[in-house]
A = this chain, B = another copy of it.
Amino acid sequence: MKFWPLTGLGEVRAGDPLTADLARLAAASGMRAGDVLVIAHKPVSKAEGRVARLADVEPGEAARRLARETGKEPELCELILRESRSIIRRRRSLLICETHHGFICANAGIDRSNTPDGTAVLLPVDPDASARAISAALSEELRGLVPVVICDTHGRAFRRGLVNVAIGVAGLRAVVDHRGGRDREGRALVATDQAMADELSAAAGMLMGKDAGTPAIACRGVEFVAGRGDAGDLVRDPDEDLFRGD
């Protein structure tokens, strides 16, 4: 199993032909059908125009109150509220949000790093659709299925340190169900849903670099299960989640 970065993507701007650029770079880097591409969400968001200028944001009353309570800018608070279904935990300036996609992450995934001053990068509106578009371009260029995982860097309950997790998936099953398999003693395996898209994201994260210079990582030799792909499979049903309520 092998991972390597696609080089040469450069800074992405709204409207850039990212899928075509990635297909070209994938071919140039030696990717082939059956490989997987993992890409950070930021270039995807930028290409899709999901960058907000804070000066253009009009904070409402709730955002102004949240700004006073957290010390964040009111414009940023307005964006966080717009991008959130709910705020599930807060402490001082830390806001843990449930995005409209259902992901639980700080500040609804809004990011101020590696974007010009006075702007903020939002998550793609439909990351699975973004992944499907990239996968289609790569699969055509490389003449066979190339699954795509779009990832973001999240904190976690109970554990320190950030890891990348999948927020958009195309071409492979995000969660692989091994039930029906057997262990080496022949006992049926239970509770063995493998979060493969998250494993891929975490692995690729090691090569992305914190300066975000290499956001696209090729993966070879991964035994994925082909499928439509749905990052929603990675979201635990709120009714089944023991850590959501207060």
Contacts and interface: CB of A to CB of B under 8 A. Distances in A.
Interface of A: 1-4, 11, 89-91, 94, 96, 103-104, 112-117, 156-165, 174-176, 178, 181-185, 187, 189-196, 198-200, 202-203, 205-207, 210-213, 222-223, 233-237, 241-244
Interface of A, secondary structure class, is loop
Contacts of A112: 187
6 contacts: A1-B3, A156-B195, A158-B244, A162-B194, A163-B198, A181-B210
Contacts of A117: 185, 187
A158 B243 contact: yes
A237 B213 CA distance: 31
Q: Which of A4, A90, A160 has the most CB of B within 10 A?
A: A160
Identical chains in the assembly: 2
B193 A160 contact: yes
B243 A202 contact: no
A158 B154 CA distance: 12
B163 A202 contact: yes
Contacts of A158: 103-104, 157, 235-236, 241, 243-244
Contacts of A90: 242
A206 B210 contact: no
Contact of A203 (B194, B199, B211): B199
A84 to B, nearest CB: 14
Nearest to A193: B161
Given A2-B1, A192-B210, A222-B206, A116 B183 contact: no
A103 B207 CA distance: 27
A141 to B, nearest CB: 23
Contacts of A199: 163-164, 202-203, 205-206
Contacts of A4: 1
